[in-house]
Amino acid sequence: MVGFAYGMYSLIQRAVQHAVVGPSPMVVKPVPPGTEYASVRALGEQMSRPGGMTSVDLVSFLQERIRTLDPQLKSVIELNPEALETARELDLERASGKVRGPLHGIPILLKDTIETTGMQTSAGAFGLVGTPAGKNAPLVDYLIKQGAVILGKTNMTELAGFRGGPDGWSSRGGQTRNPHHPDADVGGSSSGSAAAVAAGLAPLAVGAETNGSIVVPAAFNGVVGLKPSVGLLDRDGIIPASQRQDTPGPMARSVHDVALMLNAMSSDPEGPTASSGIDYTQLLVPGALKGKRIGYPATFTKDGESLSVENSPQFSKTLEVLREQGAVLVPVNLRLADASQYEDLLLSDVKEELNRYLVTREGLPVKSLTELIHFNDDRDGTETDHQPGLKQINTSSLTPQERKEGWDKLIQDFRSTVDDPIKEENLDAMVSDFDTNSYFGVAIAGYPGITVPSGKNDDGLPTGAYFFGTDRSEATLLAVAHGYEQAAQVSTKPQL
């Protein structure tokens, strides 16, 4: 985090330190060993024991861990000054016998595109630093109502990668590092969310994806990341790129914790549909893989060469684990749809939706994409082209009708690449080696996908198994991914 407005960061640090050690009725106790990598279930059990760890203890511990480790990782862009007070109130509720749900007292980090009161929502850009949003994004309120403690905001690839900088870098937050190795690819754009969870800075984080922005950093950092079906989760209050592609999604260290997050993010617990919501943990049971028909690519492309599955030892091992658990594996030939129009369509959407967002967001120094480009030029100079992505977006000239026609055709084509083999082979889900880049087409289709750690490569860096399926197949995907995770027993804790 040392890279963004360091003076501002120091002020935040001092405020948090005062909350921890200053005059306050809060009593902070040491947390049990291994708390930094404990599951939500384990944390909840500890907090439920008489005299056990409290939410205040946990939040204080993680704040100190962030202060110690994050100057190197730069995964957290801002801490919530109200986190300890929120934790104290939740501890009082628990002591009185009220527990809101599994996330009661559990700290969570949010990507810096998700609006929160009292903190910046800037997508890592100084041009979007100003008056905090007037209200939380709905999904933030859903999490808070379930008892989650908003710990802070995470760094990210600036403007979700649309500025044109390297993965994990933002002008406000600096360069996020992969906790497994500082020179390893951290992925983007939910880089900070993935790195922070991997480093044990928080048990849970929320990312957001247009194409690859959850599953890629999750895979590279060795955590679980779910990109839900487009439209499943509320996207209001999130800095947009394309409503045809955007979705928030949960990131954690286990499939079960991701499922708990999805439950909390799916609907307002006090709303009229609360009782009809799906419990995404219900199918996470032993033997979930037995009899499941899972397709996998007969060949995949790596470095421009078409290879068979035998050329990927890590993926071969993934298939072996699935087979041993009773899954029926079916090789399929995945058709690659034509993505030649994708970039033009996406950038045109970004131009319209980002401009609409900026003009309606109060208290920012810029009100349009053009003003943002000028702001960056004034701040960073014009000697080099430091924002090629934004300039390309600003030149987009597709009409709304051209975009609609192009998107309708493109999305349908990509959906058929997933739907057809699943229907023809009567599959429950599909799994791929991450080198196939299957996530790219799945994202265009608007379909769900989840990446789960599968081991480490020859360089000691995490690898991932990627499960995907058709629209609204999250419950099945979580069950399959959980079955794989429990059988594979992969540990990807970084040696910090």
pLDDT per residue as tens digits for the range 245-255: 999 999 999 99
For the packed helices 55-73 and 191-198, what is the interaxial angle rounded to 10 degrees?
Answer: 120
| Number of neighbouring beta carbons within 10 Å of residue 362 | 10
- Three-state DSSP at 255 gives helix
pLDDT of residue 190: 98
pLDDT of residue 4: 33
Model confidence band, residue 491 (pLDDT cutoffs 50, 70, 90)? confident
* Amino acid (1-letter code) at residue 82: E
Q: For residue 27, give every residue at least 6 positions away whose Cβ sits within 8 Å of its Cβ, in sequence order, or none.
A: 56
pLDDT of residue 300: 73
Residue 387: phi, psi to the nearest 5?
A: -145, 55
pLDDT of residue 201: 98
* Unique residue bearing structure tokens 């369509």: 345
Distance CA 17, CA 331 (A): 56
* Strands in 220-304 per DSSP E: 224-227, 247-252, 293-297, 299-302
pLDDT of residue 36: 98
CA angle at 87 for the pair 86 and 91, rounded to the nearest 5°: 120
pLDDT of residue 9: 30
Q: Determine which one of 55, 74, 75, 111 is catalytic.
A: 111
pLDDT over 70, % of the chain: 93
Please check the confidence at residue 351 and state whether its pLDDT lies above 50.
yes
Residue 160, class by beta-carbon neighbours within 10 Å (0-12 exposed, 13-18 middle, 19+ buried)? Answer: buried
pLDDT of residue 271: 67
Query: What is the mean pLDDT of the segment spanning 46-71?
Result: 97
Model confidence band, residue 27 (pLDDT cutoffs 50, 70, 90)? confident
pLDDT of residue 481: 98
Give me the long-range contacts of 27-30 (CB less than 8 A, separation at least 24): 27/56, 28/56, 28/57, 28/60, 29/53, 29/54, 29/57, 30/57, 30/61
For this structure, is 189 an active site residue? yes
pLDDT of residue 435: 72
Distance CA 248, CA 397 (A): 28
pLDDT of residue 496: 82
Query: What is the mean pLDDT of the segment spanning 339-358?
Result: 98
pLDDT of residue 252: 98
Model confidence band, residue 391 (pLDDT cutoffs 50, 70, 90)? very high
Please check the confidence at residue 303 and state whether its pLDDT lies above 60.
yes
What dotted CATH number matches 6-276?
3.90.1300.10
Domain ranges for the chain: 6-276
38-42, 148-152, 163-167, 300-304: range with lowest mean pLDDT: 300-304
Please check the confidence at residue 165 and state whether its pLDDT lies above 70.
yes
Query: What is the mean pLDDT of the segment spanning 313-338?
Result: 94
Mean confidence (pLDDT) of the chain? 92
Q: Determine which one of 170, 213, 267, 432 is catalytic.
A: 213
Query: Which of 171-198 are b and which e, b meaning 16 or more Cβ less than 10 Å from the residue's Cβ?
Result: bbbbbbbbbbeeebbbbbbbbbbbbbbb
Model confidence band, residue 25 (pLDDT cutoffs 50, 70, 90)? low
* Amino acid (1-letter code) at residue 171: S
Query: What is the mean pLDDT of the segment spanning 92-105?
Result: 98
Q: For residue 293, give every residue at least 6 positions away whose Cβ sits within 8 Å of its Cβ, in sequence order, or none.
A: 327, 328, 330, 425, 426, 427, 428
Query: What is the mean pLDDT of the segment spanning 103-126?
Result: 98
Model confidence band, residue 20 (pLDDT cutoffs 50, 70, 90)? very low
Model confidence band, residue 272 (pLDDT cutoffs 50, 70, 90)? low
pLDDT of residue 6: 27
The string of DSSP letters for 106-144 reads -EEEEETTB--TTS---TT-GGG-SSPPSS--HHHHHHH
Please check the confidence at residue 11 and state whether its pLDDT lies above 50.
no
Q: Determine which one of 189, 190, 312, 432 is catalytic.
A: 189
Query: What is the mean pLDDT of the segment spanning 404-433?
Result: 97
Please check the confidence at residue 2 and state whether its pLDDT lies above 80.
no
